[in-house]
A = this chain, B = another copy of it.
Amino acid sequence: MAKMTMAQALNLALQQELAQDDRVVLLGEDVGVDGGVFRVTDGLIDRFGEERVVDTPLAESGIAGMSIGMAVYGLRPVCEMQFSGFSYQAFHQIENHAARLRWRSQGRLSVPMVLRAPYGGGVRALEHHSESREAYYAHTPGLKMVIPSGPRNARALLVSAIRDPDPVIFFEAKAIYRAYREDVPEEEETLPIGQSRKIREGQDLTMVTYGAMVRPTLAAAEELSRKDGIEADVIDLLTVAPLDDSLFTASARQTGRVMVVHEAPRSFGPGAEIMARLVEKSFYYLEVPIARVTGYDVVTPLFSREQHYIPHADRVREAARQMLGEG
């Protein structure tokens, strides 16, 4: 075990997969010599060479489209979009092909690629560098949409994503790339894609969240416990799509009160689907309306305002208090 930031843990996952499977190839803008603008691929070109860690021209559709061809040939490309806000340049390749080739060929071909992209706010970045639009990908049949929430699960999920036979969109929260360290085992570790995880036990309400929002949500839960004697059950989705609704619908049946926390704009966002599943599967147990604590339906503000846009622990806590009639 070594204490690692999420960026280091992701680097470890890539390093080990590169070492043990020669089908794995990294590609993207500045992933090679520069080691990635967030240093997630730092040092990998030195160890594995230009053949395995490929600096590409500046063209996202090119990167995604080329990765599709590589995957069809039998490689396991892990491509990077420098920021998720520039993955739209590749959206047609992802929707028109990555998500469909298995179906189009009725199983003859597959696209085992991973498309990594930093997402979300909180690092004082420029316009287009702080978006959280996982819903676009979650709504696209044929894709998997994975968002880890910390160093250890990031490493394990990235390994699983690389080994997954289907295309995985892998969003990495910039805000936690180096926010804190966690013990990450040197030996191989994987986590199943498509499974959510309970990360805190409680009986008063259920909080459903993922990615960078896990920390403020947990912080709020701890404060509620300390100050208000409210105990929250907290579910970390880890995979946004295909959505594993088993844990949170079960939890809702216990608590009767649910809150969803995400950074993405509220309307037509991931929270809506979580609410829909709750209505479909736990309706008769719900005591109060499900609450959404989310980004707003506006262009993600520039960094001088982002702290008021991104849900924070106080906002989560206040929403919980209100839900429990203590607001």
Which residues of A come within 8 Å of B, CB atoms? 85-86, 88-89, 91-92, 95-96, 99-100, 103-104, 127-128, 133, 135-136, 138-142, 241-243, 264-265, 267-273, 275-276, 279-280, 283-284, 286, 288-290, 292, 296-299
Contact = CB atoms under 8 A, between A and B. Distances in A.
Contact of A265 (B133, B136, B141): B141
A127 B135 CA distance: 23
A267 B139 contact: yes
B242 A297 contact: yes
A268 B138 contact: yes
B290 A267 contact: no
Contact of A141 (B138, B140, B276, B299): B299
Nearest to A128: B96
Contacts of A242: 267, 297
Closest 8 CB pairs of A and B: A272-B272, A139-B268, A88-B92, A283-B289, A272-B276, A91-B91, A272-B273, A275-B276
A272 B135 CA distance: 12
A286 B279 CA distance: 10
A265 B292 CA distance: 22
A261 B271 CA distance: 19
30 contacts: A85-B96, A86-B92, A88-B92, A88-B95, A91-B92, A95-B133, A100-B127, A103-B298, A104-B127, A104-B299, A133-B140, A136-B136, A139-B265, A139-B268, A141-B296, A141-B299, A142-B298, A241-B268, A242-B267, A242-B297, A268-B268, A268-B273, A271-B276, A272-B272, A272-B273, A272-B276, A275-B275, A275-B276, A279-B289, A283-B286
Contacts of A91: 88, 91-92
B276 A292 contact: yes
A283 B275 CA distance: 12
Contacts of A89: 92
Nearest to A291: B280
Nearest to A296: B141
Of A128, A267, A273, A296, most B-chain CB atoms within 10 Å: A267
A34 to B, nearest CB: 23
Given A275-B272, A279-B289, A297 B141 contact: yes
A89 B286 CA distance: 42
A279 B275 CA distance: 8
A139 B289 contact: no
Contacts of A104: 127, 299
Contacts of A88: 91-92, 95-96
A279 to B, nearest CB: 5
A215 B3 CA distance: 60
A109 to B, nearest CB: 14
Contact of A289 (B85, B128, B280, B290): B280
Nearest to A289: B283
A93 to B, nearest CB: 9
A54 B22 CA distance: 50
A99 B299 CA distance: 8
